[in-house]
Amino acid sequence: MIFTNPQSLVSYGEATNGLKKTTSAGALDVLLQPTPQPPNTKQETQFKVTFLQKGSDKVQPHIDYDFIITRGSKTMFQASNQTGQPGLPIHTAEGVVTIPYKFISAGTYIVKVPIFGILFNPIKPETADFSIQITS
């Protein structure tokens, strides 16, 4: 299940408590805030994803995206597969989503956030990739 969290502004304090990356072609910044910190195998991780206008802390609404967790070459989770329309982008009107995932083993994972559209306009897909270390 994917939850949305309406919010118009991310404070500086919140932005420093997560991982912030610019997408591969520079259209957006993506802020990833996993809870708990550090993510572990004992409890479900809640990934708060905030789509930001490039170079600012202002939330960008109306994003078409996906959320993918990989380990090595294996896809462990893909959010679009949970919607009943696998492979099709998910839309967030608010620009902030929370995605739960339970890791079953410790190690290094990659969280990929591909972006397919901004403000209802398709774009050439861009991705923000984050390396996440999971503890036991």
- Give the mean model confidence (pLDDT) for residues 3-15: 36
Q: How far is CA 17 from CA 47, 67, 120, in A?
A: 12, 20, 30
Between CA 111 and CA 113 the distance in angstroms is 7
**Residue 67 lies in domain:** 3-134
pLDDT band at 128 (very low <50, low <70, confident <90, very high): very high
Contact (Cβ atoms closer than 8 angstroms) between residue 110 and residue 128: no
- Tell me the pTM: 0.86
> Considering its fold, how many domains does the chain have in total?
1
Q: What is the pLDDT of residue 85?
A: 83
Task: Look up the CATH number of the domain holding residue 59.
Answer: 2.60.40.1930
